[in-house]
Structure 1
Amino acid sequence: MQYKWLIKIVLLGLILVLFVTSTKASNTEANTQYISKEEIINDFEELYQRLQKAHYDLYAHRSKEEFDEHFIKLKHSINAQMTLSEVTVLFQTFASFANIAHTKIDLPTQDYVNYRQSDGKAFPLFVKVIDGKVYVVENYSDAKDISAGDQIVALNKQCMRSLLKDLRKYISADTDTMYFGFLELQFPMLLWFEHGAQEQYEVTIKGENGQKDIMLATIGYDDLIHKMEQRKGLLELGFERVTTVTKQIGYLRPGPFFNTDQNAEDVWDHTSFKSFIDDAFETFSVQKVKALLIDLRNNPGGTNSFSDYMIQKFANKDFKFASDFKVKVSSEFIAANENRLKESVVTETSERYQASYAGLAEGDIFDFNLALNKASSERFEKPVYILVNRHSYSNAVTTAALAQDYDFATIMGEKTNDLATTYGAMEAFKLSKTKIAVSFPKAHIIRPNGEKKAHGVTPDIIIETPLVEYVEDSVLQRALLEIEKRF
């Protein structure tokens, strides 16, 4: 059940595991209270004004003229009172217009969760988007003539290209490929936000036997879970931490770079993670492995305080995760950082931020000098390989880029959707009337090799991921074979 963990991500609202942030911003609570037209407009004007002021570069991908036009268009659409959830969705369609992943307002996903748990029905197909085309990867409908690998050409007579364009407004993403990856994780939910509750969909399917229209009944939550539990043979890559040795190759799946311990009080406590990494490399040493494969596929990321510790085990020189880290000063950033210090969430980073912006004015940009991580004197000296895929995100991508740029490891797999050079270091502010939390990037982070062009990590050894992944894990088997060839 490879999508079971993806459902978990959607229910978490995507923010923690896809883009780790130091803020506590969240708009996931369902709220049907009504907001007056005047209050909505006031907050909408505040949203744009503060984004312009606080964002590192709001106009990186859109011109100011385009943004102004979009702002006026949406403002004119506000002609009556709205629920808080409706306002949240509207404001996200403005934030997402920036085409920057960290410029976002969390959708009111709790509304969808409540709907599903009240036996609300949703679209029964899970999909993958390749080069703008939508393919079925899992079918939980009663339609037996839809197979994995079939292309969805249209939904309710709307071509998929048009539908993908319509759904883009719900997701903040720098590129189309990043958007497609996010959409795969939440397609049924996005259809619900776009169309509301539906009893059925007319789906135009293109398969081996040509094209056909099929009426698909939507599926209830309990029915979906039951069918998923009955499904056999699909690969499930979740949050597990795994260490094994096979064919004299050490295999390390470190899991997310945050604390996943059950009932963990501090998500950033890396005590157990460091213990796991220590034990893993001790095992590799005792068993005298000839190479190491680190599996970051479907890894949601986290913080470099976790990943740097792992990299230190095999780094042959001192390193840092970015060649350049520029930060823009704003009252929004300062307020968020001061609040962390006030709440005694004191970290060296927060204190260094405070020292850096002291005496600077709003709009100033400063270089945040990253400390070098020291390479271990007792490092693992055998060849290291890192396996990534389209759903390696956030700090998992940073880790792969760092290892590639410093020549610590050979990268394998498929190109990541997430970016190695990015607008990040996310903060958030709350709007005055609605208290909606708005996330924004305060920094421009350049990958270690200094490349400023934003794109995903391109593997040194390309291993294509099949449309449908089975438990035999052909990608992993291919990676192991490629490593064996290099003994």
Structure 2
Amino acid sequence: MIKNILLTFVIEPKRQVLTLLLVILSQVVFAQKKISKQELTEDFVQLKGQLEKLHLGLYYYETKEDFEKRYAETIDNFPDSLTITEAYLALNSFVGGLQDLHTSVLFPKNYFPKDKNKALPMVIRKKGDKFYIHLNGSTDSTILRGEEIISVDKIPVKETFEKSKGLFGTDKANQNSKNFYAERYFARNTNILYGIKDSMLLELKNTKKDSIYFRKISTELTKNSNKILAKRYKNINRKNLNFKIVDSLNHVAVMDVVSFSEKGNKLDFHQLRFNKLVKKNFKAIEENNIKHLIVDFRFNGGGLLTNTKRITKYVATNPFVATDSVRISKSGFNKLFPPYLLPNYIIGRMIFKKQVDGSFLRTPNRSNKPSKKHHYDGNLYVLMDGGSYSATTLTIGLWKDMNRATFVGNTVGGANWGSFAGQWKDLKLNNSKFKVHIPLMKLVHGHPNKTNKTFFVEPDYYVDQSFEDFIRRKDSPMDFVLDLIKNK
């Protein structure tokens, strides 16, 4: 842990930020389990005490008075007993009110047997006020892509979608981010709200025939629906750090950056594989004389701060710092650098300076220099959306502050000023056994030029996928950038 603190300052990747979506698919097994009002109230008291000690963003997006009011009202509204699902929704709603996506609620892992994690095997997309089948991962191949989905088990999809938005405590209640996750995780959100079922009744509309029909389909384990999707559709997955030349005549290439944490050897603590792949890509960019580079940051929920520096050094024109400051609470500092481990405590006191309010502050003592080898000075384009969060928001904001790229897509998920992240404590509540993922640090992004004045990083060009392009499976933002390049 100390090595991570000194060298990387971890910013949670999307698969960790959204862990709650990955682990709560089997609460049907526990639907009959109850927790009393007294027990859940005791858990809330425990949680409140730890939030006040550890979370530096507790009163950042709401006042202390509003927080106390929400806390009291939540407890007062508890019935005499609650199911595990009801308790989760109450707890998640309260934590979501902090308006920080890095702070989340998780079920204990042993609550959810793998053979019970079934879900609706459909991926949907919202176009206007309607919802459509984007990908069909069910065994029923007669349900066609592009058909409108009206209801699931007689509950309107629009109603479920609106409820789903309440499951995400996005930064400063970022609505674009809420919409993004409510759409992308619709199947899992349905399980959270209504429980897991063996089958579901879909109300569908064939848009070509303008006819409505009903179809009962089996829910599927994720691994099974993924196999079906892979066979049924081509090119549905983006590989991290994939590089390809899309227009050799105009020297245009695309680099996918799906995560700032590269999977691989578990002993690769310093993410050397990520570094190796980034270097390989920029070497290829240089060798192929790429003049226009498109970096796709869409649906990248974050990763290691070190990796944001590793990619930025190849495009930065001047020395830069990724974070202006890193602050940690007194209790958080003692958790990471316990006094009884004297060597670690001494290291912590060397890199963090104690402040008057009792917190500890670290400011960078040196900047990161642009890479001399394989440095890219050509035209840079960034694709972004509501799923661009955490370390990705930091990177996009940094590049915008540098005036280094043209930004296309939609508003990112995270705040431009910084985030509450870095290191975490998973607080296990005594009675319900839920875990609350609490960030221990406040990271302020390094923006010396103050180029961006908006709270969230906004694109230079807002481009959403049109319905026509959705039907044809065309990437509207990508096509927009390619047209920009051709018309230069």
Give the TM interval when normalised to the shorter protein.
Answer: 0.7 to 0.9
In the other structure, the counterpart of 2:311 is 310
Distance between the aligned counterparts of 1:476 and 1:469, measured in 2? Answer: 16
In the other structure, the counterpart of 2:163 is 166
In the other structure, the counterpart of 2:6 is none
Distance between the aligned counterparts of 1:370 and 1:211, measured in 2? Answer: 66
Distance between the aligned counterparts of 1:461 and 1:335, measured in 2? Answer: 45
1:109 Cα deviation after fit: 7.0
The alpha-carbon distance between structure 1 residues 195 and 462, as it changes in their structure 2 partners (threshold 3 A), is closer
SS in 2 for 1:445: strand
Distance between the aligned counterparts of 2:36 and 2:401, measured in 1? Answer: 52
In the other structure, the counterpart of 1:182 is 181
The answer to whether the Cα contact below 8 Å between 1:410 and 1:460 also exists between their aligned partners in 2 is yes
The answer to whether the Cα contact below 8 Å between 1:40 and 1:78 also exists between their aligned partners in 2 is no
The answer to whether the Cα contact below 8 Å between 1:29 and 1:110 also exists between their aligned partners in 2 is no
The alpha-carbon distance between structure 1 residues 336 and 437, as it changes in their structure 2 partners (threshold 3 A), is farther
The one-character-per-residue Cα deviations of 1:210-259 (angstroms, maximum 9, x if unpaired) are 57463433423276345323313453223353354742234333452223
In the other structure, the counterpart of 1:321 is 322
Distance between the aligned counterparts of 1:195 and 1:285, measured in 2? Answer: 52
The residue type equivalent to 2:255 in the other structure is: L
The alpha-carbon distance between structure 1 residues 308 and 430, as it changes in their structure 2 partners (threshold 3 A), is same
1:45 Cα deviation after fit: 0.9
1:176 Cα deviation after fit: 2.2
The alpha-carbon distance between structure 1 residues 444 and 306, as it changes in their structure 2 partners (threshold 3 A), is closer
The answer to whether the Cα contact below 8 Å between 2:390 and 2:414 also exists between their aligned partners in 1 is yes
Extract unaligned runs of 5+ from structure 1: 1-14
1:452 Cα deviation after fit: 6.7
1:191 Cα deviation after fit: 1.2
The alpha-carbon distance between structure 1 residues 52 and 469, as it changes in their structure 2 partners (threshold 3 A), is farther
1:313 Cα deviation after fit: 1.6
1:138 Cα deviation after fit: 2.0
Distance between the aligned counterparts of 2:37 and 2:54, measured in 1? Answer: 26
1:178 Cα deviation after fit: 0.9
The answer to whether the Cα contact below 8 Å between 2:325 and 2:364 also exists between their aligned partners in 1 is yes
SS in 2 for 1:182: helix
Distance between the aligned counterparts of 1:206 and 1:330, measured in 2? Answer: 59
In the other structure, the counterpart of 2:421 is 425
The alpha-carbon distance between structure 1 residues 68 and 415, as it changes in their structure 2 partners (threshold 3 A), is closer
In the other structure, the counterpart of 2:371 is 376
In the other structure, the counterpart of 2:407 is 411
The alpha-carbon distance between structure 1 residues 294 and 94, as it changes in their structure 2 partners (threshold 3 A), is same
The one-character-per-residue Cα deviations of 1:176-231 (angstroms, maximum 9, x if unpaired) are 22122222332222211211233323536584655746343342327634532331
Bigger Cα displacement from structure 2, 202-211 vs 96-105: 202-211
Distance between the aligned counterparts of 1:340 and 1:259, measured in 2? Answer: 33
Q: TM-score, normalised by structure 2?
A: 0.76
1:355 Cα deviation after fit: 4.4
The alpha-carbon distance between structure 1 residues 169 and 482, as it changes in their structure 2 partners (threshold 3 A), is closer
The one-character-per-residue Cα deviations of 1:455-483 (angstroms, maximum 9, x if unpaired) are 2x333344433564877756545433422
The answer to whether the Cα contact below 8 Å between 2:238 and 2:256 also exists between their aligned partners in 1 is no
The alpha-carbon distance between structure 1 residues 327 and 153, as it changes in their structure 2 partners (threshold 3 A), is farther
In the other structure, the counterpart of 1:8 is none
In the other structure, the counterpart of 2:225 is 224
SS in 2 for 1:179: helix
In the other structure, the counterpart of 1:440 is 438
The one-character-per-residue Cα deviations of 1:36-62 (angstroms, maximum 9, x if unpaired) are 765432221121233234333334444
The answer to whether the Cα contact below 8 Å between 2:255 and 2:293 also exists between their aligned partners in 1 is yes
The alpha-carbon distance between structure 1 residues 90 and 461, as it changes in their structure 2 partners (threshold 3 A), is closer
**Correspondence list, 1:275-290, <5 A:** 275-290=276-291
Distance between the aligned counterparts of 1:258 and 1:340, measured in 2? Answer: 31
The answer to whether the Cα contact below 8 Å between 1:421 and 1:453 also exists between their aligned partners in 2 is no
Distance between the aligned counterparts of 1:341 and 1:127, measured in 2? Answer: 52
Matched, 1:58 2:55: no
Bigger Cα displacement from structure 2, 61-70 vs 187-196: 61-70
Matched length: 456
1:443 Cα deviation after fit: 1.6
In the other structure, the counterpart of 1:9 is none
The alpha-carbon distance between structure 1 residues 164 and 480, as it changes in their structure 2 partners (threshold 3 A), is closer
The alpha-carbon distance between structure 1 residues 470 and 265, as it changes in their structure 2 partners (threshold 3 A), is farther
Distance between the aligned counterparts of 1:60 and 1:150, measured in 2? Answer: 43
The residue type equivalent to 1:460 in the other structure is: D
1:305 Cα deviation after fit: 0.9
Distance between the aligned counterparts of 1:211 and 1:140, measured in 2? Answer: 22
The alpha-carbon distance between structure 1 residues 241 and 90, as it changes in their structure 2 partners (threshold 3 A), is same
Q: TM-score, normalised by structure 1?
A: 0.77
Distance between the aligned counterparts of 1:181 and 1:45, measured in 2? Answer: 32
The residue type equivalent to 2:370 in the other structure is: A
Distance between the aligned counterparts of 2:134 and 2:44, measured in 1? Answer: 39
1:398 Cα deviation after fit: 1.9
1:317 Cα deviation after fit: 0.6
Alignment partner of 2:482 out of 477, 480, 483: 480
The alpha-carbon distance between structure 1 residues 430 and 144, as it changes in their structure 2 partners (threshold 3 A), is closer
Distance between the aligned counterparts of 2:110 and 2:471, measured in 1? Answer: 30
Distance between the aligned counterparts of 2:247 and 2:202, measured in 1? Answer: 47
In the other structure, the counterpart of 1:7 is none
The answer to whether the Cα contact below 8 Å between 1:129 and 1:180 also exists between their aligned partners in 2 is no
Bigger Cα displacement from structure 2, 417-426 vs 334-343: 334-343
SS in 1 for 2:300: coil
The answer to whether the Cα contact below 8 Å between 2:354 and 2:361 also exists between their aligned partners in 1 is no
The alpha-carbon distance between structure 1 residues 409 and 353, as it changes in their structure 2 partners (threshold 3 A), is farther
1:101 Cα deviation after fit: 0.9
In the other structure, the counterpart of 2:458 is 458
Aligned-residue Cα RMSD (Å) equals 4.2
1:312 Cα deviation after fit: 1.0
The alpha-carbon distance between structure 1 residues 443 and 469, as it changes in their structure 2 partners (threshold 3 A), is farther
SS in 2 for 1:98: coil
The answer to whether the Cα contact below 8 Å between 1:318 and 1:372 also exists between their aligned partners in 2 is yes
State the identity %: 18
SS in 1 for 2:97: helix
Distance between the aligned counterparts of 1:319 and 1:367, measured in 2? Answer: 16
In the other structure, the counterpart of 1:272 is 273
In the other structure, the counterpart of 1:256 is 259
Matched, 1:126 2:123: yes
